[in-house]
Amino acid sequence: MDAEPLNDVPPDATPPPGPGLDDVPRRRALGGAATLLGAVALGAAGAFSIGRPPASAASRPPESYPPTHWIPASSANYTVSGRPGAYPVEYLVIHVTEETFPDTVKIFKDPKSKVSAHYAVASADGYVAQFVRERDIAWHAGNWDYNTRSIGIEHEGWVDRPEYFTDALYRSSARLAAAVCARYGIPADREHIIGHVEVPGSTHTDPGPYWDWDRYLELVTGHLTPGG
């Protein structure tokens, strides 16, 4: 996520600076990694499911999308728009949260955060939450031009901990990415499905060296192939 959220907002907006996901103080010691993995990557998503809302009819994406659950971000954390009429949707930006899924939800719902993404995918089971409608502009890329022309997908985990990039996470995210590509005519290639690190002016490294781009794009294109 963005350490400088003001780069995300429209040029004429002047919200007070607030933390992005990378700015939230770390509450976990690296020495507790094994415990955290057991609690989150291998099971905390199941515990979090108790409070997970179902998708409403008003917010449910088209049928080609994976099961997607509407958890609205604070209206202070995105820009209302009318895409693709107002702006073309040309890119998908792949992020890694550097937070647990429950903490990501809290950040997106906090009006002081000034950060959001359209979707987030949980590590343990591939649960997909939608926080911002695709027609609206999420503040995720750290670049206003790219925000206006992209869909942001967050993935629960840390860039230096590949155990969070589970099969369930890859498969759910790829199905989501394929549906977005099909909906807007976005080519499913590395010129149009990019990492946060590749956004011009980005100071971030996500999704990092352990993200398997070859596997991910193979899964995405598989969904776009008839019978895939």
CATH superfamily to which 15-224 belongs: Peptidoglycan recognition protein-like (3.40.80.10)
- pLDDT of res. 15: 36
pLDDT block averages, 10 residues each, the chain of length 228? 45 39 35 33 38 46 83 98 98 98 98 98 98 98 98 98 98 98 97 98 96 98 83
- pLDDT of res. 61: 55
- pLDDT of res. 91: 98
- pLDDT of res. 3: 36
How far is residue 147 from each of residues 11, 38, 91, 198, measured CA to CA in Å?
A: 12, 34, 9, 13
Residue 98 annotated among the catalytic residues of the structure:
no
Nearest alpha carbon to residue 171 among 113, 224, 223, 119:
223
Among the options 98, 154, 156, 218, which is catalytic? 154
- pLDDT of res. 44: 38
- pLDDT of res. 8: 54
User: What SS3 class is residue 46?
Assistant: helix
Q: Whole-angstrom Cα distance, residue 213 to residue 201? A: 21
Contact status, residue 137 vs residue 103, Cβ threshold 8 Å:
no
Give the start-to-end residue ranges of the domains of the chain: 15-224
In terms of pTM, does the model score above 0.75? yes
Contact status, residue 16 vs residue 111, Cβ threshold 8 Å:
no
